[in-house]
Amino acid sequence: MTNISHIKTAKKLLLASLLPAMMLTGCGGGDSSSGTGTLSLSLTDAPIDDAKEVTVAFTGVAIRQDLDDESSWIEFDFAQEQSINLLDLQGSQRVSLLTGEDLPAGTYSEIRLDINEANSYIVLNDGQDTTDQLDVPSGSTSGLKVKGTLVVPESGDAAFTIDFDVRKSIVAQGNGDYKLKPVLRIEQDNTIGHISGTVAPELLTSGASWTCSDEDPDTYNSAYVYAGTDVTPVDISGSVDDPVTTALVAYNPDTQAYEFEVGYLSEGPYTVAFTCNADQDLVESAETIEFNSQVNAAVVAGQTTTVTLEAPVEPAPEPAPEPAPAP
């Protein structure tokens, strides 16, 4: 069983150790005179079942206003390359990439994460800790880019969080290698909330109306979050119907409950669905996975919305036929 309280403590220690090392040098970042504001940028992650570590080596961050002008990037190079295991940043956990960096005030349209592909790798959760280098197309040259509207107010502060969705981003190749095709979304910190939830234990093993990948209640369990109310849940296929994000479900011995946490969602209505077949949801592969429970959730900025995924009412067994009367 997974002790969530111990995991969260370890994550906090990890983040505390990373932050002092993230000293930055700005390139073209403007000065602190009038007409400037500050930008803070953090990184979080949606997890994956089949890996115990997904480490990406970040070398810097850049931001620009004009999508058509490659020379307009304002760059912030890390003084030291930062190797971050994305799987340590689940739920509401995150790590800071930029803190209070001066920028000309205005509206920006794109952020670029610069990485070193040679030092980025995945450790499989296969019992042997098999390690493979991550193939990141153009990662070391053009970086990983995410578009959005980022307003830096004059003489004010702007803070955003990038969600690096590992479940959607890791693609297994036919030759056994792994490619990183990053799926990133960005949210403004003062407009987001979180969802925390519990899952009925009955959902973690097969029932009369659904089948799990295995009968181990601690494996392949995930909550999928969709934008909107009463959404029919679907697997990840790269379409507009995909979940916004996902979260692993794990047992908490302190509460004796199966729990999950989803962080950094923009304010609004969502549908949360549960599956015990998350291992079957392969990016760029045709499959259909079962969802055996769902619930609506309203996310409010600055708050955590709590939900419970209940087991559906199983159909009553058919009554045994009455014996035929004796002749």
Does the residue 102 lie in any domain?
yes
Does the residue 264 lie in any domain?
yes
Indicate the pTM of the whole model: 0.79
- The reply to whether 133 and 212 lie within a common domain is no
pLDDT exceeds 70 at position 249: yes
Q: What are phi and psi of 285, to 5 degrees?
A: -135, 140
Confidence label for 57 from pLDDT (cuts 50, 70 and 90): very high
Query: Is the torsion defined by CA of 246, 56, 96, 20 positive or negative?
Result: positive
Does the residue 171 lie in any domain?
yes
pLDDT exceeds 90 at position 78: yes
Confidence label for 304 from pLDDT (cuts 50, 70 and 90): very high
Between residues 116 and 282, the one the model is more confident about: 116
pLDDT at residue number 73:
93
- The reply to whether 35 and 164 lie within a common domain is yes
Q: Distance between CA atoms of 265 and 193, rounded to whole angstroms?
A: 5
Question: Domain total for the chain?
Answer: 2
Which of 147, 182, 217 is the last residue in one of the domains? 182
- The reply to whether 172 and 261 lie within a common domain is no
pLDDT at residue number 22:
37
- The reply to whether 141 and 214 lie within a common domain is no
* For range 186-200, the mean pLDDT: 95
Confidence label for 20 from pLDDT (cuts 50, 70 and 90): very low
pLDDT at residue number 182:
82
pLDDT exceeds 80 at position 23: no
pLDDT exceeds 70 at position 169: yes
Q: 170 is written with which tokens?
A: 């890791």
pLDDT digits (tens, 9 = 90+) for 170-181: 887 767 678 888
Q: For the chain, what is the mean pLDDT?
A: 84
What percent of the chain is predicted at pLDDT more than 70? 83
- The reply to whether 68 and 103 lie within a common domain is yes
CATH, residue 296 = 2.60.40
Does the residue 59 lie in any domain?
yes
Q: Which of 271, 274, 290, 168 is nearest to 226 (CA)?
A: 271
Q: Which of 6-10, 49-53, 306-310 has the lowest mean pLDDT?
A: 6-10
Does the residue 187 lie in any domain?
no
pLDDT digits (tens, 9 = 90+) for 107-124: 999 999 999 999 999 998
Domain that holds residue 29: 4-182
- The reply to whether 200 and 118 lie within a common domain is no
- The reply to whether 208 and 291 lie within a common domain is yes
Does the residue 252 lie in any domain?
yes
pLDDT digits (tens, 9 = 90+) for 113-158: 999 999 999 998 888 888 988 888 766 678 899 999 999 999 999 9
Does the residue 327 lie in any domain?
no
Q: Distance between CA atoms of 89 and 87, rounded to whole angstroms?
A: 5
- The reply to whether 84 and 163 lie within a common domain is yes
- The reply to whether 160 and 20 lie within a common domain is yes
* For range 167-193, the mean pLDDT: 85
Confidence label for 285 from pLDDT (cuts 50, 70 and 90): low
- The reply to whether 236 and 142 lie within a common domain is no
DSSP string, 172-241: E-TTS-EEE---EEEEEGGGEEEEEEEE-GGGGS-BTTB--S-S-TTSS-EEEEEESSS-------SSTT
Q: 314 is written with which tokens?
A: 């199983």
pLDDT at residue number 153:
95
Which of 182, 205, 229 is the last residue in one of the domains? 182
Does the residue 115 lie in any domain?
yes
Which of 131, 159, 182 is the last residue in one of the domains? 182
- The reply to whether 254 and 163 lie within a common domain is no
Q: Distance between CA atoms of 36 and 62, rounded to whole angstroms?
A: 17
- The reply to whether 165 and 261 lie within a common domain is no
Q: What are phi and psi of 226, to 5 degrees?
A: -115, 145
* For range 210-238, the mean pLDDT: 94
Which span out of 31-40, 119-128, 190-199, 206-215 was modeled with the highest average pLDDT? 190-199
